[in-house]
């Protein structure tokens, strides 16, 4: 595992990959922009390091387009220029005053860094600072010290996306357009750290090993807590054993490390609740463009729920949502024509960057052109079509219940069996892998991967429809309602929705003269999510299961826009491990971060599907 892995690496690549020829762009930037570096004082006296790129053409004033980041504004030094500017190459050539700022406590900025700084709703003194106030103070300085037109925009992907969201409450009047892209929103419920209380092991272990280690004296680098490399993540973490081992040398020995903070709060307590930025997205004034990816393994939840929070709490806001077939930050890449086995039939990034993102900022910050964007623009997989809606989920989306049945059946017809169930044994010593690929880093394609490797396991149960007689389009949120019993006192529940391709199916060749892509019986994952069972009734007050008592467990999956074609089948899989994406549940009610090897135990888990205890899944079917 390298020092900056998975999440951070993807963010950095995304932000640096706008152009096909970075060297050429760097020369163009030097010829057209002047770079200056400033320490801008915040209201509490802390100074934040800021790099400012100003167009050399003085014949007009320019709007400001800024990004705040914990990942460094490098290269440092006024003679050293970035390879790209702005969210995409089109905006770079439009010419803005581009501003990049190291967030409080990161790299060359002063102060103390906090993971997702809790927002302060009612600030009583200059000592009450958060990301909103830091953004406000930065804008105030920029308006007075640059040759601008009085309008400011902000954007960012992932953590910088969170900073964009955090700028919205009590925003500076000059901040008129903001685009939170894959923004972190709630790290316990659905972003990065935990999903519905289940700890995302691979990402946390890898990311925090390098993110917040000791900082160099000049503030340009971090040492990292440790450096571990391996080729088989599944075997490495299985051999690693209980996670309490990670809280000592040579791993996260520093009690102030973010990893230690994260594992010290294994329930949804004040630590996590105070970091939920969505609760503060009220009375938002700037125009907002929320962007996310259907294959984003980190912050799919954040994009969807940020948009929903603004819609609910700021109903008059000019708020728009764009969801495309992207991984984390994929919309910033030069091109995007395919992902996993999906072939999109064209470059979806060209459409997004030229017709949506560039027009959004040009219109609001320069008064240039027209902006006829719909409320919601989503890419529908399965048909490979952009769809436009005036609400999300769409008004003609009809929640439709499909029932689990005996012999692996999934049907919209109600069950008639008085007694029916399916059982499996979950063994923490042999957890279900999240991917069929052996590797030392997260396989991003797991979100669209063929699930036949899981279907063959005895600890994974599957339910599927008959072959579809017509296309079925799902557009909206999915929820599974499981009636379960078990021999242990806790368990995880992973629910997958899968598109099963017909036997003999193929896709056209990717390139002229190439071979068709074989999809013969492919079980293409469409959406999946995990719930740590002890949080089935409350994320703040976990409860043990009682042996063999039947209880209802609700697993909510993120939204989807996908068409199951005629002749395909809809499959639902249920399992109780997803390793090492998610840490192992000992299947014993306890604080897992305090577990010993002896605490991990096998458990027989039963999914009931009869007239009295019917397990089902609700799918958002378009009518």
Residue 541 vs residues 197, 269, 494, 535: alpha-carbon distances, Å: 11, 9, 21, 7
Q: Where are the beta strands (DSSP E) in 466-602?
A: 472-486, 492-500, 506-507, 517-518, 523-532, 551-564, 569-575
Alpha-carbon distance values, 244 to 5, 195, 210, 232, 241 (Å): 22, 20, 19, 21, 9
Q: What are phi and psi of 182, to 5 degrees?
A: 45, 50
Beta carbons of 75 and 85 less than 8 angstroms apart: no
Does residue 402 contact residue 410 with C-beta atoms inside 8 Å? Answer: yes
Q: What is the pLDDT of residue 518?
A: 87
Q: Is 326 helix (H, G, I), strand (E, B) or coil?
A: coil
Domains of the chain and CATH, by start? 6-186+275-389 (3.40.50.1820), 397-622 (2.60.120.260)
Q: Measured between alpha carbons, how far is 537 from 107 in angstroms, rounded to an integer?
A: 41
Distance CA 219, CA 207 (A): 19
From the DSSP assignment, how many helices (H) and strands (E) are in the chain?
A: 13, 27
Chain segment 245-289, per-residue pLDDT in tens:
999 999 999 999 999 999 999 999 999 999 999 999 999 999 999
End-to-end CA distance of the chain: 47
Chain centroid to CA 210:
20
Distances in Å between the Cα of 290 and the Cα atoms of 100, 249, 535, 554, 560 are: 20, 41, 29, 27, 16
Could you give the CA distance from residue 548 to residue 606 in angstroms, rounded to a whole number? 9
d(CA 160, CA 147): 25
Give 620's strand partners. Answer: 399
Instruction: Name the helix (H) or strand (E) containing 236.
Output: helix 233-240
Which pLDDT belongs to residue 247? 96
pLDDT at 2: 35
| Cβ–Cβ < 8 Å for 243, 201 | yes
Q: Are 454 and 460 in contact, with CB atoms under 8 Å apart?
A: yes
Give the residue from 192, 208, 458, 200 showing the smallest Cα distance to 302.
192
d(CA 492, CA 536): 10
**C-beta neighbour count of 421 within 10 angstroms:** 18
Measure CA 583 to chain center.
Answer: 18
Mapped onto helix, strand or coil, the DSSP state of residue 120 is coil
Sorted by sequence, the CB contacts under 8 Å of residue 402 that are 6+ apart come out as 410, 411, 412, 465, 570, 572, 616, 617, 618, 619
Tell me how far apart the alpha carbons of residues 3 and 407 are, in angstroms, rounded to a whole number: 47
Length of the chain: 623
Cα separation, 30 vs 27, in Å, equals: 5
- Residue ranges, the chain, pLDDT below 50: 1-19
Unique residue bearing structure tokens 């249920």: 574
pLDDT tens for each residue of 40-70: 999 999 999 999 999 999 999 999 999 999 9
Between vectors from CA 534 to CA 541 and to CA 456, what angle results, nearest 5°?
160
- CA 23 vs. chain centroid, Å, equals 31
| pLDDT value of residue 22 | 59
pLDDT, position 415: 78
* Cβ atoms 88, 95 nearer than 8 A: no
Looking at the DSSP bridge assignments, the partners of residue 37 are: 51
Task: State the pTM of this model.
Answer: 0.95
């Amino acid at each position: 595992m390298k020092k900056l892995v998975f999440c951070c690496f993807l963010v950095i690549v995304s932000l640096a990959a706008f152009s096909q020829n970075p060297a050429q762009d760097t020369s163009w930037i030097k010829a057209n922009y002047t770079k200056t570096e400033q320490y801008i004082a915040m209201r509490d006296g802390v100074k934040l390091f800021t790099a400012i790129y100003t167009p050399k053409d003085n014949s007009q004033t320019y709007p400001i387009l800024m990004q705040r980041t914990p990942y460094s504004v490098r290269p440092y030094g006024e003679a050293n220029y970035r390879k790209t500017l702005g969210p995409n190459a089109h905006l770079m050539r439009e010419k803005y005053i581009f501003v990049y700022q190291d967030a409080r406590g990161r790299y060359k900025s002063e102060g103390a860094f906090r993971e997702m700084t809790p927002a302060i709703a009612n600030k009583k003194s200059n000592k009450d600072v958060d990301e909103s106030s830091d953004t406000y103070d930065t804008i105030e300085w920029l308006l007075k010290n640059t040759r601008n037109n009085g309008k400011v925009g902000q954007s960012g992907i992932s953590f910088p996306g969170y900073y964009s969201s955090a700028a919205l409450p009590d925003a500076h009047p000059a901040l008129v357009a903001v685009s939170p892209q894959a923004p972190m929103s709630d790290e316990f419920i659905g972003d990065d750290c935990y999903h519905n209380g289940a700890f995302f092991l691979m990402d946390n272990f890898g990311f925090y090993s390098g993110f917040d280690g000791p900082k160099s004296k000049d503030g340009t680098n971090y040492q990292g807590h440790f450096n571990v490399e391996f080729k088989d993540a599944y075997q490495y973490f299985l051999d690693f054993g209980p996670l309490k081992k990670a809280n000592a040398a040579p791993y996260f020995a520093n009690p102030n490390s973010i990893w230690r903070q994260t594992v010290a709060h294994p329930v949804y307590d004040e630590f996590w609740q105070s970091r939920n930025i969505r609760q503060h997205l009220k009375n938002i004034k700037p125009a907002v463009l929320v962007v996310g990816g259907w294959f984003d393994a980190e912050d799919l939840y954040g994009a969807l729920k940020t948009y929903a929070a603004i819609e609910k709490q700021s109903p008059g806001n000019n708020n728009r949502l764009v969801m495309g077939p992207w991984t984390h930050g994929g919309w910033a890449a030069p091109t995007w024509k395919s992902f996993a086995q999906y072939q999109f039939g064209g470059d979806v990034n060209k459409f997004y960057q030229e017709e949506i993102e560039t027009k959004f900022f040009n219109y609001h910050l320069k008064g240039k052109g027209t902006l006829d964007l719909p409320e919601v623009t989503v890419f529908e997989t399965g048909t490979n079509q952009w769809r436009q809606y005036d609400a999300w989920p769409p008004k003609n989306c009809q929640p439709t219940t499909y029932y689990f049945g005996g012999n692996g059946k999934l049907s919209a017809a109600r069950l008639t069996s008085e007694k029916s169930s399916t059982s499996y044994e979950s063994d923490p010593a042999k957890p279900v892998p999240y991917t069929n690929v052996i590797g030392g880093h997260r396989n991003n394609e797991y979100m669209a991967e063929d699930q036949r490797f899981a279907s063959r396991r005895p600890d994974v149960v599957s339910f599927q429809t008959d072959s579809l007689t017509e296309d079925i389009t799902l557009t909206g949120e999915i929820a599974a309602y499981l009636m379960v019993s078990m021999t242990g006192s806790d368990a995880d529940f992973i629910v997958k929705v899968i598109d099963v391709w017909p036997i003999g199916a193929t896709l056209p060749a990717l390139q002229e003269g190439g071979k068709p892509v074989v999809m013969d019986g492919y079980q293409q994952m469409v959406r999946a999510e995990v719930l740590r069972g002890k949080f089935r009734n409350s994320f703040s007050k976990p409860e043990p299961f009682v042996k063999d008592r039947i209880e209802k467990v609700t697993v909510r999956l993120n939204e989807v826009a996908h068409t199951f074609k005629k002749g395909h089948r809809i499959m639902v899989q249920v399992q109780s491990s997803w390793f090492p994406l998610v840490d192992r549940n000992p299947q014993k009610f306890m604080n897992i971060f305090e577990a010993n090897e002896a605490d991990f135990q096998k458990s027989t888990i039963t999914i009931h599907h009869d007239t009295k205890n019917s397990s089902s899944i609700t799918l958002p079917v378009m009518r």
